[in-house]
């Protein structure tokens, strides 16, 4: 009897071990998810014999297709947009563009993330970015392509898609306006993202909700990958030259985007990018934003 009991226990332990191993194997083979946003710029042309006085201003970066480990996953992301895996891709964007972006499901692991010139029908256009990155199983990621050609960079962030509390939204901010664009304003090294509005009971009044942010700071500080929690509601969002630390409001308006609705329960990434048409206005209005809705 004792032998039988010992044998039964061994069989049970082995079964539990095998089940645990199978679950681990299932997890390791789960797909990752990735969405991609385009905030890249084409640098101004260098004077040449054929064009001795080119425009000194940058232009929007090229639209690109996305491949993962050589497999075509996302088509035609234009400047200021983000990945749409089903339906029609955006063909134009406004200065304050909401994008309900889609995640592409991909195999997890370390593989090449490739951006190539769009319009090749998935056949493989000219590569404009190609780097190996690692995506963990069952995780979601956002990749933001930014900076000038030919030195495009990509910021990869893991997304916490847990739901915010009732009456709240989750928001993070990415600064993708190169400092050289802001060389005509003081303290070009930092900007504040300000908010006015929100709930009627506790409205914000020109509050720097993302203060003292530097160009590409999220590329070196993962703290900026995290989402802040705000009240849902309608906001006027401002992009301003940063105020003196500890004081408000910020100064030097670079762009103001009124009556933007942040919907309860939603998760957003706000990307400050260059307002290419606004560079030529008088006075210049160099900032635009893309608001990616994750859920």
Higher pLDDT, 258 or 48: 258
Cis status of the peptide bond prior to 54, with omega within 30 of 0: no
- In the predicted model, is pLDDT for residue 153 greater than 90? yes
Summarize pLDDT for 127-139 with one digit per residue, the tens: 889 999 999 999 9
The beta strand positions in 45-121, using DSSP E, are 59-60, 64-68, 71-77, 96-100, 104-106, 109-117
What dihedral angle (degrees, nearest 10) is formed by the CA atoms of 250, 252, 254, 259?
50
Higher pLDDT, 212 or 55: 212
- Whole-number Å distance between alpha carbons of 287 and 10: 67
Summarize pLDDT for 157-179 with one digit per residue, the tens: 999 999 999 999 999 999 999 98
Q: What is the pLDDT of residue 85?
A: 66
Q: Where in the chain are the domains?
A: 30-45+54-293
Question: Can you state the percent helix, strand and coil of the chain, rounding each to 5?
Answer: 15, 45, 40
Q: What is the pLDDT of residue 87?
A: 66
The pTM of this model reads 0.86
- Whole-number Å distance between alpha carbons of 269 and 4: 60
Q: What is the pLDDT of residue 220?
A: 94
- In the predicted model, is pLDDT for residue 3 greater than 60? no
Residue 80 — left, alpha, or beta (φ > 0 → left; ψ -120 to 50 → alpha)? left
- Whole-number Å distance between alpha carbons of 235 and 109: 39
The mean pLDDT of the chain is 86
- Whole-number Å distance between alpha carbons of 199 and 169: 12
Q: How large a percentage of the chain has pLDDT more than 90?
A: 61
- Joined tokens for residue 42: 């084409």
Determine the average pLDDT of the residues in 88-92.
Answer: 82
Q: What is the pLDDT of residue 181?
A: 81
Summarize pLDDT for 175-203 with one digit per residue, the tens: 999 988 876 555 566 899 999 999 878 88
Given pLDDT bands bounded at 50, 70 and 90, which one contains residue 241? confident
Q: What is the pLDDT of residue 180?
A: 83
Given pLDDT bands bounded at 50, 70 and 90, which one contains residue 10? very low
- Whole-number Å distance between alpha carbons of 168 and 127: 41
Determine the average pLDDT of the residues in 260-271.
Answer: 98
Determine the average pLDDT of the residues in 67-75.
Answer: 93
Given pLDDT bands bounded at 50, 70 and 90, which one contains residue 96? very high
- In the predicted model, is pLDDT for residue 24 greater than 50? no
Q: Could you give the angle at the alpha carbon of 167 between the alpha carbons of 164 and 169, nearest 5°?
A: 45
Higher pLDDT, 115 or 50: 115
- Joined tokens for residue 155: 């910021």
């Amino acid at each position: 009897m004792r032998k039988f009991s010992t044998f039964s226990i061994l069989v049970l332990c082995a079964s539990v071990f095998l089940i645990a191993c199978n679950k681990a194997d299932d997890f390791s083979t789960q797909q990752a998810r990735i969405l991609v946003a385009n905030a890249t710029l084409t640098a101004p042309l260098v004077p040449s014999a054929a064009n001795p006085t080119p425009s000194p201003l940058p232009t929007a970066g090229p639209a690109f297709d996305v491949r993962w480990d050589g497999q075509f996953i996302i088509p035609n992301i234009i400047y200021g947009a983000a990945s749409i895996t089903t339906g029609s891709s955006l063909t134009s964007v406004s200065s304050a563009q909401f994008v309900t972006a889609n995640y592409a499901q991909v195999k997890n692991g370390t593989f090449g993330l490739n951006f190539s010139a769009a319009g090749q029908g998935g056949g493989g256009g000219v590569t404009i970015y190609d780097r190996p990155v690692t995506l963990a199983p069952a995780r979601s990621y956002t990749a933001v392509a930014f900076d000038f050609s030919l030195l495009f960079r990509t910021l990869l962030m893991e997304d916490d898609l847990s739901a915010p509390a009732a009456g709240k939204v989750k928001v993070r901010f990415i600064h993708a306006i190169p400092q050289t664009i802001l060389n005509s304003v003081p303290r070009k090294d930092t900007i504040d993202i300000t908010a006015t509005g929100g709930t009627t009971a506790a409205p914000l009044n020109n509050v720097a909700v993302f203060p003292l942010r530097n160009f590409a700071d999220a590329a070196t500080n993962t703290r900026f990958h995290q989402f802040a929690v705000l009240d849902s509601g309608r906001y006027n969002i401002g992009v301003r030259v940063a105020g003196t630390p500890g004081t408000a409001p910020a100064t030097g308006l670079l762009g103001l985007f009124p009556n933007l609705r942040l919907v309860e329960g939603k998760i957003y990434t706000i990307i400050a990018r260059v307002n290419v048409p606004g560079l030529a206005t008088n006075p210049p209005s160099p900032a635009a934003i893309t608001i990616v809705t994750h859920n």
